[in-house]
Amino acid sequence: MIDYGVGNLGSVLKAFNYLNVPVKLTDNCQEIREAKGVVLPGVGAFGSGMGNLINFHLKETIVEIINKGKPFLGICLGLQLLFTSSDEAPGIKGLDIIKGQVKKFDIEKVNKIPHMGWNQVKLNQEDLLFKNFSRDQNFYFVHSYYVNPEDSELILGETEYGSQEFVSVIRKNNLWGLQCHPEKSSEIGLKVLKNFSEVALNGN
């Protein structure tokens, strides 16, 4: 699990520990390269999060391991940083692994900003991350921005908030991204983290 000086890392670490999944919180590039799977969690602003990845010399390592096919999971800010840019930080380029922009909710379409609380993720296809799930499940969200990928085929799940539907799960080959917080989503969220760990450790 990548340590890049943002919030909520401890909660994700605790969730993996609860599942008895071997996990290490680190900013060491070599340790990240040697890991069987990598998680980029985080709560915070796009600009400072991206700045920390650069300052900790982690940007190139993340791009490298994803391109080499290592199982990778981005959570909340960790998902948003995978994109080209964000309305939250004009002029700051993201990791650009997924082409598209991070957009702010339109207050005229949603109840309030941030979107906070439990909401349904509607999956559009079966996937290893949601193995043995019923189609639609509720997860916990805390965010003011949502991702907008250029390639709609990367969209694995969507969520309705007010009159706006937004992308809540993406997948690109070995890369998954969740806008929700599985570590705060009770048993169903732990199941997602468990499934990811099985993909990383066992390939299925």
Residues with catalytic function? 76, 181, 183
* Measured distance CA(16)–CA(194) in Å, rounded: 8
Count the neighbouring beta carbons within 10 Å of the beta carbon of residue 52.
19
Q: Which of 94, 11, 110 is nearest to 49 (CA)?
A: 94
* Measured distance CA(70)–CA(37) in Å, rounded: 6
Which is it for strands 38-40 and 72-75: parallel, antiparallel or unpaired? parallel
Q: Give the long-range contacts of residues 18-25, CB within 8 A, separation 24 or more.
A: 18/190, 19/190, 19/193, 19/194, 19/197, 21/193, 21/194, 21/197, 21/201, 25/1
* Measured distance CA(95)–CA(81) in Å, rounded: 6
E-only strand ranges, 124-185: 136-143, 145-149, 155-161, 164-172, 175-178
